[in-house]
Amino acid sequence: MARVAIVTGGTRGIGEAISLALKDQGMTVAANYAGNDEKARAFTERTGIRAYKWDVGDYQACQDGVAQVAADLGPVDVLVNNAGITRDGTILKMTLEMWEEVIRINLGGCFNMAKAVFPGMRDRKWGRIVNIGSINGQGGQYGQVNYAAAKSGIHGFTKALAQEGARVGVTVNALAPGYIDTDMVAAVPADVLEKIVAKIPVGRLGQAHEIARGVAFLCSEDAGFVTGSTLSINGGQHMY
């Protein structure tokens, strides 16, 4: 029987590429999304992957969403925590709401989803959890104290949960993308984007499928000896 995977934020951008990569790997994929019903329907029509709507920042919604996926497709073996938002601004301009919403979704969503799937993975002695971090969680970024804090938290969350899962067959890893050619990056002003690209040693933005390939490996049978790691795919922009 095919492994069942949930990809949060899985109908657009990097998430869509990950959903397709896992499907190509032979998995049965459920793509979670938060709000855009029209684009989710178009995604399902285009890919054949079922889309499920819930807010990953809502604990009970995650419990219910995972239960529905399991009822429809089978027990969840693979989780990719990809959903995330930005609410950028310097700390002088950032409101408490901007801070709390990014932490709630980007970091809280990882806890909520892992809490929902981890017990079943433990009981079946097999699981893969991949959390999407960020180069800006590794190195920080001006005007993103909320986003950088959430993504940095994801890297710590990954290392801690990996220790809990290691002896029961559940690997937990993170992947930290650099600047990828997605709608989010396309919204960056052209002059700012030019400066960003100038700092990337390979001289270009990354592509969503390049991130998806890394995720697909970490979710595979072959990655059983990889846990607690962060795979950085950033064109050499941040090395450590």
Give the catalytic positions in this structure: 147
Dig out the tokens for 178 from the structure: 């650099």
Beta-sheet strands, E only, within 17-168: 28-33, 50-53, 78-81, 127-132
Task: Please state the φ and ψ torsions of residue 32, each to the nearest 5 degrees.
Answer: -80, 145
Find out whether 90 and 141 touch, Cβ atoms under 8 Å: no
Q: How far apart are CA 168 and CA 124, in angstroms?
A: 8
Residue 203's closest CA among 177, 178, 176?
A: 178
Q: How far apart are CA 15 and CA 190, in angstroms?
A: 24
